[in-house]
Amino acid sequence: MCADRERQPSTSEPRLLDRVRNRLRTRHYSPRTEKAYVSWIRRFILFHGRRHPDQMGEAEVTTFLTHLATQHRVAASTQNQALAALLFLYAQVLKRDLGGPNSPPHARRPTRVPVVLTRSEVASVLARMHGPSRLVATLLYGAGLRLLEGLQLRLKDIDFERQEVLVRDPKGRRPSVSVAELAGRPPPRTHPHRRALTCTRPL
């Protein structure tokens, strides 16, 4: 009996998710987006009792999103990411359009006024940081980088003479150059903080 079970064909879910991964990679989505989209699609399938998405549509997508908002109380950005994953599944993999009159709506994000620190406040924060965290934080502030962009920097990406930072796009597109306010000179080769440019830990 065990041998018969092993010879049984696998369910459609792994094959479908492989198709999703291949389509995401063909369209040069980042690895983080691929992981998030596959996770949401898997949760959508499990939520509806492992039904194949091709047997479902707008109503099931809306029910799933409503469940996320009311039962799990996810943020609007999280709900919209789940919707984006399912729209990608139907449009790019299953070749179906969910943009009809009953299409699932996007969640409204609350309007928030960004908090901008003054130069003195930034200097005070940086003064309390040490080691690799301070070096990366200084680059984030001076060059206006995103966190992941700063953590992926390598020493050769920084030109202290020209005050420039080469920013490598995580999705594989052509890198761009960011003008930075880099104070001082590069750390010597024996400096323990040189390895901070390949640090993968959050600040």
Per-residue confidence (pLDDT) for residue 190, from 0 to 100: 46
As a three-state string, the secondary structure of 168-201 is CCCCCCCCEEEECCCCCCCCCCCCHHHHHHHCCC
Per-residue confidence (pLDDT) for residue 17, from 0 to 100: 93
Per-residue confidence (pLDDT) for residue 148, from 0 to 100: 82
Per-residue confidence (pLDDT) for residue 181, from 0 to 100: 54
Per-residue confidence (pLDDT) for residue 144, from 0 to 100: 79
CATH code: domain 16-93 is: 1.10.150.130
Length of the chain: 203
pTM of the predicted protein model: 0.59
pLDDT one-digit tens code per residue, 97-155: 886 656 777 777 766 777 888 889 988 998 899 888 888 888 888 777 888 888 888 87
Residue 33 has which token pair?
Answer: 């987006």
Mean pLDDT per block of 10 residues along the chain (203 residues) reads: 44 75 93 95 96 93 94 92 95 86 70 81 90 84 81 79 73 58 49 44 39
Determine the distance from the C-alpha atom of residue 111 to the mean position of all C-alpha atoms in its chain, rounded to a whole number. Answer: 22
Domain boundaries, the chain: 16-93, 119-179
CA–CA gap between residue 161 and residue 179 (Å, rounded)? 11
